[in-house]
Every structure is written in structure tokens, then in C-alpha cells.
Structure 1
Amino acid sequence: MTKSVDQNDQTSFSAPIEDLQVRIAFLDDLVEQLNQQIAVQGQEIADLRRQMQFLYQRVDAADLSEGIAPFDPLTNRPPHY
């Protein structure tokens, strides 16, 4: 009789253990996917920073004095005012 009780105990313990193993495998896969996504986004952020730096350099190097007058809100009022 103790043998059948031991098998029932072993069966009752193995099901939750298998469930936990499946969940751990799923979480491992999820962590790996998230790490890959973070790596991709990190590269995209680095690219965007380089592009912004390039644009700032172009704006700083551009001579904006010709053709564009400074805006004066007192003299340059829109016609609907």
C-alpha cells in the first residue's frame, strides 16, 4: 500500500514541476526576445543621435543671415490683428 501512495505523491509533485519547467522555458525565450529588441532599439537610437548631430552641424554651419530677417512681433503682426 505504501508503494501506491508513493506513486501518487510522486505524480502529484511531478505535474507542478513540469508546469514550472514549461513556464521557465517560456520566460527564457521571452527574455531573449526582449534582449534582441533592446539591442535593435539601441542601434536605432545611436543612428538617430548621429543624424541629429549631423543636422545640428549643418544648421550651425549655415549662414542664416541672408534672406531671413529676424522676427519682431511688434512690427510683423499678422493681418488679422
Structure 2
Amino acid sequence: MTKQLNHTNDHASFSAPIEDLQVRIAFLDDLVEQLNAQVSKQSLEIAALQKQMQILYQRVEASDLSEGIAPFDPMSNKPPHY
């Protein structure tokens, strides 16, 4: 009778840590899926931002900024608080 009781206690003492590990693995699997979804979303956003930056750089390179900007002379163009 004592052997059977000890066997039951051994089984219970082994199953509790295993169940805890299974629960932790389930949570970790869910966390990995959430992080993967977030990384995928951010990857798409980064690609869209890179396209927008490329368009802006092309516009800046194509435009002639020298016509609209007057030369700056620090001696004659002092800010009003000087």
C-alpha cells in the first residue's frame, strides 16, 4: 500500500512541472506568433517609407533649388536680435 501511494506521489510530483512547462511553451508560442506578426507589419511599413524617401530624393535632385534661394551673407543678413 505504501509503495502504491509513493508511486502516485511520484507521478503527481513529475506531472506538475511538466504541465507548467507545457503552459509556458504555449504562452511562448503565442508570443512568438505575435512578435512575428509585428515584425512582418513593420517590415511592410519600412518598405513603404523607403519608397517615399526615394521619391523625395528624386524630387530634390530633379528640382533646381538655386533659383529660389538667395545667397546668404552672414555679415549683411544678421538676425533681428543682433
**TM-score scaled by structure 2?**
0.91
**SS of corresponding position for 2:65:** coil
**SS of corresponding position for 1:22:** helix
Identity of aligned residues (%): 70
1:64 corresponds to 2:70: no
1:44 corresponds to 2:49: no
Over aligned residues, Cα RMSD in angstroms? 1.0
**TM-score scaled by structure 1?**
0.92
Structure 2: gaps spanning 5 or more residues: none
1:17 corresponds to 2:34: no
Equivalent residue number for residue 80 of structure 2: 79
Paired positions, count: 81
Structure 1: gaps spanning 5 or more residues: none
